[in-house]
Structure 1
């Protein structure tokens, strides 16, 4: 990293995985495969839930939003990582870096609050089942989703505007995209106020929805334990366990990245944590929800049968067309032979 007075820097350099350049081809293949697989999995889940009438409930509405967020969240950084792995250190303009940081925070924070909204949905479904359709109506669900995007916008704007209005004393970012922690290392002078800002905003964006989730699940678990039927308990636990597993994966890695002081930062550890919550989690979300949810698996099987049926019908239609063409060709040749 070259130090000096670079407060007017117009371009940064993303070092990426320069310390393991010999593994770049392998990393490129792995990340590209994960990216394509994640896009396909989340797209299929979103399409299935929109097209199947049996999945038009608040829970699946939130799952559709989660799949869309994961697609956008992943697409903010993966293209940069793949470019970095292909050509090595790459340049990124200050404006593009700011936009990347804003959208990464926007989609990440929106996902934090969306997971909290999903826990609220499960709380109402299990603890207040008779009032579920009244409380979790379409207007409430859309308002909750709109609230997650508003919170994401607020956090993204606060971090981005404050960070990029501070003077920089370096331009080499030891990371694979413009994340706030590596950028703090480039700031001039005392960075303590910026560190406090990151932690305070992280408490709002990560800890507040996480505490809401903890409260919801404490009430849910106490309600489940009071159920008389073992079958009802198993069904309720099965419904909640998928969401709880996603919450632990996402919040565990994100909080370990943002809720700690700057002196504990380590470039190699930070890159691993960033890959965990920005690449691995979006892939696991549709896998967890589809493999652990009988209704989703049933809808997938139904759609697969319809696709197979359509494919067979197309084959039969194509065969019929070929028979018709052959028949008329033979008939035409016979007519010409008779006329001669």
Structure 2
């Protein structure tokens, strides 16, 4: 049958990675280890922030929210990747495919907003220390987090809705999860207009948040350079360096995939780059935020001592 005569398919087929059958078990185990470590690392951050009173500050509150988001973000795609490593090409109902597309982009855009909120928090802490706790009250923190989640899940309706409305003539998705570019290649119609809309929506959200973050960190840099002691400057830079590393990873991969040339990458390139922002970045985030953070290390020591005391008894 001519593929152009088929304008809808009840299911898609995820192609996954083309790898020798003998290597798939190793790839599965490697991906599973990273996935489990990612879940453990982000859960560790959430539990630690709630368990130690010294970490009950706005900065660590937002960090725990980011870790909570990463749990869902990595779980949106990692199980699909694991399934394709085990079984090769895997069928997925069209409805489930579009839901995955929507949830994945909703969480990605939410993280974009949340990174902007975290930059605002650092700006207020360093540049407005006397008014910081009043400006970043508990109510304001929850409002900022709620606004980030609401904006992210609202904005993702545009690319997900437009993609779901396309007529599809082919069913094999050259990817390991349902993403914009691989699905657009299956459409029966010209998707140039859709690509432009995606670039505008996703690109504007990324660019506006990145400009906000860079502007805030420009203000932070000016304030830090005015601090009288080298120790104070080093502490301020240490506090901000982890966040800037995460920002660079997140926005760098987002611009490469969705803004730089949306939908124009080779199929194999799409999948390889996707591993960076779907698997590697959520795995690295808790490490980046905790590895060189003395406050977190002290919190771990205190919580460990309390647990040991409880186990040993009176």
TM-score, length basis structure 2: 0.96
Query: CA separation in 2, counterparts of 1:136 and 1:311?
Result: 37
Q: State the distance in 2 between where 1:298 and 1:213 align.
A: 29
Extract structure 1 runs of 4+ deviating beyond 6 A.
none
Unaligned runs of 5+ in 1: 317-340
Report the aligned-residue RMSD: 1.5
d(CA) in 2 for partners of 1:6, 1:87: 27
The 3-state SS of whatever aligns with 1:91 is strand
Partner Cα distance (1:273, 1:148) in 2: 25
- Partner secondary structure for residue 169 of structure 1: coil
Q: Identify the structure with the greater helix proportion.
A: 1
* Kept in 1: contact 2:8–2:169 (CA 8 A): no
Q: Residue 6 of structure 1 contacts residue 171 of structure 1 at CA under 8 Å; is this kept in 2?
A: no
Partner Cα separation in structure 2 for residue 98 and residue 263 of structure 1: 17
Q: Judging changes above 3 Å, is the alpha-carbon distance between structure 1 residues 220 and 46 closer, same or farther for their aligned structure 2 residues?
A: same
Q: Counterpart in 2 of 1:196?
A: 196
Deviations 1:78-134 (A, max 9, x none): 111111111110000010001101110111110111001000000111111111011
Alignment of 1:149-298 (within 5 A): 149-262=149-262, 264-298=264-298
Deviation, 1:19, is 4.9
Count of aligned residue pairs for this structure pair: 313
SS at match of 1:175: coil
The TM-score normalised by the length of structure 1 is: 0.89
Match of 1:311 in 2: 311
5+ residue gaps, structure 2: none
Distance in 2 between residues matched to 1:198 and 1:20, nearest whole Å: 35
Counterpart-to-counterpart distance in 1, 2:280 and 2:238: 23
Correspondence for 1:331: none
- Confirm whether residue 74 of structure 1 aligns to residue 88 of structure 2: no
Alpha-carbon distance between aligned partners in 2 of 1:103 and 1:287, rounded to the nearest angstrom = 25
Once the two structures are superposed, what CA deviation does each residue of 1:199-229 show, in whole Å capped at 9, x if it has no partner? 0011222111111101011111111111111
Choose 171-180 or 187-196, whichever is displaced more. 187-196
Greater length-normalized contact order (CA 8 Å, ≥ 6 residues apart): 2
Distance 1:299 1:262 in 2: 43
- Could you say what secondary structure the match of 1:151 adopts? helix
**Cα deviations across residues 12-53 of structure 1 (Å, max 9, x unaligned)?**
000000255543222101110001111111101101101211
Q: Contact between 1:123 and 1:216, CA under 8 Å: does it hold in 2?
A: yes
